Structure 1
Amino acid sequence: MPRHQAARFLGIPDAWHQNHPLELPTRKQVFHRLTPWLDHAFEDLARHIACLPYPTDYRARRQTFARWTLRPEEWDMIRESLPRTTRRPEEQLRTCASAFIWTLVTGSEWRLAPTLRAAGPNREMAITTRSPQYWIMAQFRSPTLHFYTVLRESLTRYAGQLAAAAAGRWPSSSRQASGVTRLS
């Protein structure tokens, strides 16, 4: 499958790869430069995935949640259990909380979350390391402030509930594995 088709299949925006005319090396070129164990490592990984009792179909999850965002009333319920200290605007926090939950449930890149893409087709390209969304998402991934530690725990619980509730809409192989992706 060509690179652009693979990217589309995975839900990666065209803008992320079309502006990079870099040709990918052929398999022979890659394996020529790498140690021989890499080929075996891929085979071992493929065997491991094939033996999983309930493999997760993350593409089905992305399709199920293609338009999902955290509704204001759901955010209010989550927010009630949090410390009242934060200087972040509430809407930015809710938007990023929605993206974080979506990432946990779908296993996808947070910049592809519907809540962040809703502002425009190139919205995900506009998020830089200086963007407030980037800083908030960094706190969700590795909290350094108590507020974000508590919020991350709440969002992770919510994501697990959301995944479990939606499990019946996924192919049978994904139903048993209705948990969420762990982000370290």
Structure 2
Amino acid sequence: MPKNQKTKYSSASAAISEKIRLVEDFPEKGVVFEDLTPVLADADTFHTVVRALSEACQELGADVIGGLDARGFLLGSAVAYDLGLGILAIRKKGKLPPPVHSEEYNLEYGSAALEIPANQWDLTGQRVVLVDDVLATGGTLVAATRLLENIGAKVTGYVVVLEVDGLGGREALDGAPLVVINQDK
């Protein structure tokens, strides 16, 4: 991340750091879960975060916002509305009626898949910015990218609220443009 991004989003980052709830030993012992629920529940903080996400998506040249199941729907929808763009809900397998476009990806213990409607709209040539709450391993964002690129869309970057260090997510994105709003960790 370029140093200017840390400064550019510092007010949003500070607002997130003030409202985020840290839960020790969840979902398992030794893990500190960063709960964004209080960030989303506070109107001023939510607005500040959405504006920062929107600015980043605009700079990445978004024609369409891709929101990842499930918290990415909340954030991505607000960003799309703010920018006057459409929102593409990228769902977990089995949540949409057929026909769908699907992309499988590996998890630590098994596999999963993401889907979008096959007849929603033609995304050929559309620039999509993917929005999610947290970047951890990067597997979901990488699978969403493959899914969209397989149908002719161009993923121009990723915008997330938080990044969990040490899980390889940034590396999995292979140098693609990434904006992380909360840098106050």
- The TM-score normalised by the length of structure 2 is 0.28
More strand by share: 2
State the TM-score, normalized to the length of structure 1. 0.28
Q: Which has the higher helix share?
A: 1
Choose 1 or 2 for highest CA Rg. Answer: 1
